[in-house]
Amino acid sequence: MRGLLLFFLLSLNGCAIWVITPNPRVESPELRGDRGLKIGGDVGGAHAYNAVPDGSTRPPTMNQPDMDRTVDTNASFLYSPTEPLEFGIEAHPFSAGLSAIVKWQPVGEGTRTAKEGNVPLGFYLRAGSVYSQASGDQKDLFGSGGYPWKGTINGNYVHAGFSVGYRPAEHALVYIGAAAGQYWNRIEVDQNAANGDTGGVYKASDTGFARTGGAGVVFNWHIVQFYVGGDYSYIRYTHAGAIDSLFFHGGFYFTPR
């Protein structure tokens, strides 16, 4: 709820320049277990990187970025060309983001064929980007018009992680794991010359890293699977400082024939 409220409040301030980036997540160690498609939806922890509080301020304040805890959702489309490998694309609507992911399960059976007592081990690598922009025709928040400006933030990230699980029952898997991430943000504010103000183009950048540990449980049937868990993340940027976050992580998959 806090994350959704933050997203709503940031959206109201059209002069702020910010972007939402997902935290590293602990994924289930089991793939589908045979060749085929997997379609899913997911909700988990993320952070809002607040780069510029007001892009209309002349000149803009770009040396005081900060972060807030928030939520990320994604829809995923994955394909297993062979049992131990899975490739896919994830769309993140809150951040206008897109990521690619590859998963590898060297040990254990996949979800569609696993039996009680299965002990899977899985690894994943994710690479993605996020984007946000804001623009206006003011000088300072609620100021006079005639001062066009535009601000953008482009973010890139890489996540990697592993998890191991145990299946105490045919339709349930418990797992634990860890993950890490690296982040690169580029910010630009372009203020047009107007009414005697020379304007200018202002740029900034920041890099960060994150660490996550977590656990979860998968409830599975042949065509559909649900999973829930908790992730603890620590995120630090060079200029924006650090935050930690304990967040619910959950979602579903469909594995059609």
pTM equals: 0.92
Which two tokens mark 207? 């890099």
Write down the pLDDT at residue 14. Answer: 64
Q: pLDDT tens per residue, the chain (257 residues)?
A: 444 444 444 444 568 999 999 999 999 999 999 999 999 999 999 999 999 999 999 999 999 999 999 999 999 999 999 999 999 999 999 888 999 999 999 999 999 989 999 999 999 999 999 999 999 988 876 777 889 999 999 999 999 999 999 999 999 999 999 999 999 999 999 999 988 889 899 999 999 999 999 999 999 998 999 999 999 999 999 999 999 999 999 999 999 97
CA 115, CA 63: separation in Å to the nearest integer? 55
CA 162, CA 123: separation in Å to the nearest integer? 4
Write down the pLDDT at residue 32. Answer: 94
Total domains in the fold of the chain = 1
CA 243, CA 69: separation in Å to the nearest integer? 8
Write down the pLDDT at residue 138. Answer: 84
**CATH number, residue 214:** 2.40.128
Instruction: Give percent helix, percent strand, percent coil of the chain, each to the nearest 5.
Output: 5, 65, 25
CA atoms within 13 A on the CB side of 109: 11
How many separate helices (H) and strands (E) can be counted in the chain? 1, 11
Contacts of 170 (CB under 8 A, 6+ apart): 114, 115, 116
- In 53-171, DSSP assigns E strands to 66-82, 85-92, 97-107, 121-138, 145-169
Candidates 18, 24, 243, 215; CA nearest to 125 is 24
Write down the pLDDT at residue 145. Answer: 83
Measured on CA atoms in the order 61, 187, 129, 8, is the torsion positive or negative? positive
The strand pair at 17-22 and 85-92 is best described as unpaired
Q: What is the extent of the structural domain holding 191?
A: 2-254
CA 75, CA 236: separation in Å to the nearest integer? 26
